[in-house]
Amino acid sequence: MNPRVSLVDAGYRGVVRPLLFASHHGDPESVHEQMIGTLARFSRSPGLVAAAKLLAGSRGVPTTVAGIDFPGRVGLAAGMDKDGRAVLAWQALGFGFAELGTVTAQAQPGNDKPRVFRLRTSKALINRMGFNNAGAERLHRELSLLGVYRGNGGAGIPIGISIGKTKIVPVADAVDDYLASLDLVIPHADYVAINVSSPNTPGLRSLQDGGALLTLLKALVERAAGRAPLFVKIAPDLTEPQIDEVLAAATDAGVAGLIATNTTLSRDGIDPAEQSLAGEAGGLSGAPLTVRAREVVGYLVRHTDLPVIAAGGIMTADDASAMFDLGAPLVQLYTGFIYAGPALPARINALTRRNP
């Protein structure tokens, strides 16, 4: 292994992860907040970010997808940095792009805590955050202050921004709610992800149904007016006929691509020792999702020419490789990054350099 990667890896596994997992009685959300807080401070020191990128950052292999030049093929998945607090830090951790959000038009607190559960033996998480976020307006202000605008490389890597529906807005009024978010984030987004697949906002996933999805996507594509490409993020729990409906709507509306997948409602693949947590409501991510996410990505690639960004249970470089082999040009990490740390993007970058 590259000595830089093994140093980062040993540091994360030996020191950072045990400290993070042990603190606050290991409550995963407090740990997450602590990590984002640290990265947010780091992100505000441009000199430090540049030095870290130079010393420890791993280089990916550049690729162009939907007209965007990505310096590497592994990105940060939505939900990790919802409010863009650590936006400049992600480039130094080996990511070739980062998806901020999901933000909603109105700021909202999300569900009651606890709302994230760690299933360590299963290498998984269950979360029912419910789009806790400071709102699209706040993200717009944060990115304006940092000078991060579409196409200007202000974050060192392309930035995607994920938008979703405000909880208190009825599903029937979802279009205007998404449009309000789109208007605020589009100046800053290299791409915009339309999240219709979180299991934690009541009724949200019904927006994946053909008719409703077509109406929503048409309105968003029209408003985007070619300024930034739009990607639709889908659930792993769709049947093949439902995926066909999504593809028809995505193609008709003229979106640029798909992101597959979000978390699952299934509880398959949880270790028997952790069955007591299987009853927690929310979306399951991590290793139990690996196979299903691959099936969905494979199906999509076989049935559309639109590019597919693969997410879901990518826990190792081999898992990323399987997604690339299926035809996904880009991958994203969430749970795998929590368990493995910055060594995972570094390993995936190393693999793409050996095997471009």
Ligand X SMILES: Cc1cc2nc3c(=O)[nH]c(=O)nc-3n(C[C@H](O)[C@H](O)[C@H](O)COP(=O)(O)O)c2cc1C
**Rule CB under 6 A: which residues touch ligand X?**
77-79, 82, 102, 116, 125, 127, 129, 162, 195, 198, 233, 262-263, 285-286, 289, 311-314, 333-336
Catalytic member of 43, 122, 162, 198: 198
Q: Which is nearer to ligand X, 71 or 313 (CB)?
A: 313
Q: Is the bond into 356 cis (omega within 30 degrees of 0)? A: no
Q: Which is nearer to ligand X, 49 or 345 (CB)?
A: 345
Q: Does residue 232 contact residue 258 with C-beta atoms inside 8 Å?
A: yes
45 in catalytic set? no
Q: Which is nearer to ligand X, 49 or 339 (CB)?
A: 339
φ, ψ of residue 293 to 5 degrees: the values are -60, -40
φ, ψ of residue 107 to 5 degrees: the values are -60, 145
Cα–Cα distance for residue pair 245/310, rounded to 1 Å: 19
Q: How far is the CB of 260 from ligand X (least distance, A)?
A: 9
Q: Is 27 helix (H, G, I), strand (E, B) or coil?
A: coil
Q: How far is the CB of 116 from ligand X (least distance, A)?
A: 5
Instruction: Go through 157-188 and write b for each residue having 16 or more CB atoms within 10 A of its CB, e for each that does not.
Output: bbbbbbbbbbbebeeeebbebbbbbbebbbeb
Q: How far is the CB of 291 from ligand X (least distance, A)?
A: 12
Taking the CB of residue 106, how many other CB atoms lie within 10 A of it?
17
Residue in the shown chain whose Cβ atom is closest to ligand X = 79
Q: How far is the CB of 119 from ligand X (least distance, A)?
A: 11
φ, ψ of residue 135 to 5 degrees: the values are 100, 155
Q: Which is nearer to ligand X, 119 or 186 (CB)?
A: 119
How do strand 68-70 and strand 63-65 relate by DSSP bridges? antiparallel
> Positive or negative, the Cα torsion across 239, 240, 241, 247?
positive
- Token pair recorded at residue 332: 């994203």
Q: Is 246 helix (H, G, I), strand (E, B) or coil?
A: helix
Q: How far is the CB of 27 from ligand X (least distance, A)?
A: 13
Number of alpha helices (DSSP H) and beta strands (DSSP E) in the chain = 13, 13
Q: Which is nearer to ligand X, 49 or 90 (CB)?
A: 90
Residue 336: closest CA among 297, 288, 287, 298: 287
Q: How far is the CB of 50 from ligand X (least distance, A)?
A: 28
Q: Does residue 40 contact residue 48 with C-beta atoms inside 8 Å?
A: no
Q: Which is nearer to ligand X, 94 or 313 (CB)?
A: 313
State the catalytic residues.
Answer: 198
